Amino acid sequence: EDQVTQSPEALRLQEGESSSLNCSYTVSGLRGLFWYRQDPGKGPEFLFTLYSAGEEKEKERLKATLTKKESFLHITAPKPEDSATYLCAVRNTGGFKTIFGAGTRLFVKA
Amino acid sequence: NAGVTQTPKFQVLKTGQSMTLQCAQDMNHEYMSWYRQDPGMGLRLIHYSVGAGITDQGEVPNGYNVSRSTTEDFPLRLLSAAPSQTSVYFCASSYSKLGGARDTQYFGPGTRLTVL
């Protein structure tokens, strides 16, 4: 059964303090791994899609990486506006369903 | 483009009542889906559609019905509301069911439903 586990559940950082969020996954065949950002009271907003181990993508202070078992979302020198819940999801090659993790709530204090 | 729109934003129902959550997209997307989001559980897929006239069940389909008569609209019907259906509901769409960059999902703003 496809499964996604994110850690930690919550992460508190000082502004400028770099860190990483983890997404461990089990999937029969990976079509894609997705990262989303969700602000309170809003729908998830797409950040990245990764397709194969070794792939990396960057956007401003965020960098996503992928191995055969997990993905990391690295946050470099975060700012308070990076505070949000970050969701990881996978889709397998055999179907049309996307499985989401429970998310990591990130708090960045000025 | 308005993207993915959902109505209503908030709804309170009594146990046993029925209602329809509306979802529409104006991006000519082929794939549409409904999720519910509960604290600590992430997003769980209820139903999805890979095109007009084609729907299938997700992880938690019981108590919900869907239909897709047009490309644009994908309503979610609660047949007889129960307190366990209290949740935030999100509709999402993507260009293609076939994968690659085109299966990036775009989400609506959500409907917050409370069943008393």
Size of interface A-B (CB pairs under 8 A): 57
Report the range of poorest mean pLDDT among A2-11, A63-72, B25-34, B88-97.
Answer: B88-97
SS3 category, B5 = strand
Residue with structure tokens 């990881």? A88
Please give the residue of chain A at the shortest CA–CA distance from B58. A97
The per-residue pLDDT for A35 is: 96
A96 has a chain B CB within 8 A of its CB: yes
Mean of the per-residue pLDDT values for chain A? 94
In this predicted structure, what is the pLDDT of residue B2? 76
Per the CB < 8 Å rule, is B42 touching A34?
Answer: no
Residue A2's pLDDT is 86
Instruction: Could you list the beta-strand ranges (E) of chain A.
Output: 3-7, 10-14, 19-26, 30-38, 45-50, 56-59, 62-66, 70-75, 84-92, 98-100, 104-109
pLDDT score, position B101: 56
What is the pLDDT at residue A88? Answer: 97
| Tens digit of pLDDT at every position of chain B (116 positions) | 779 999 999 999 999 999 999 999 999 898 999 999 998 788 999 999 989 999 999 999 999 999 999 999 999 999 999 999 999 999 999 886 555 556 788 999 999 999 99
Chain B residues with CB-CB distance to A97 below 8 A: 45, 48, 58-59
Alpha-carbon distance A42 to nearest alpha carbon in chain B (angstroms): 5
Read off the pLDDT of each residue in A43-72 and give the average, rounded to a whole number.
95
pLDDT of residue B97: 59
State residue B95's pLDDT score. Answer: 82
Q: Which residues of chain A have a CB within 8 Å of the CB of B103?
A: 31-32, 91
How far is A46 from B35, CA to CA, in rounded Å? 16
Using a CB–CB cutoff of 8 Å, tell me whether A37 touches chain B: no
The predicted model gives A40-54 an average pLDDT of 93
Looking at residue A102, its pLDDT comes to: 95
What pLDDT is stored for residue B40 in this prediction?
79
* pLDDT score at B104: 83
Report which DSSP code applies to A96. Answer: S
pLDDT of residue B100: 57
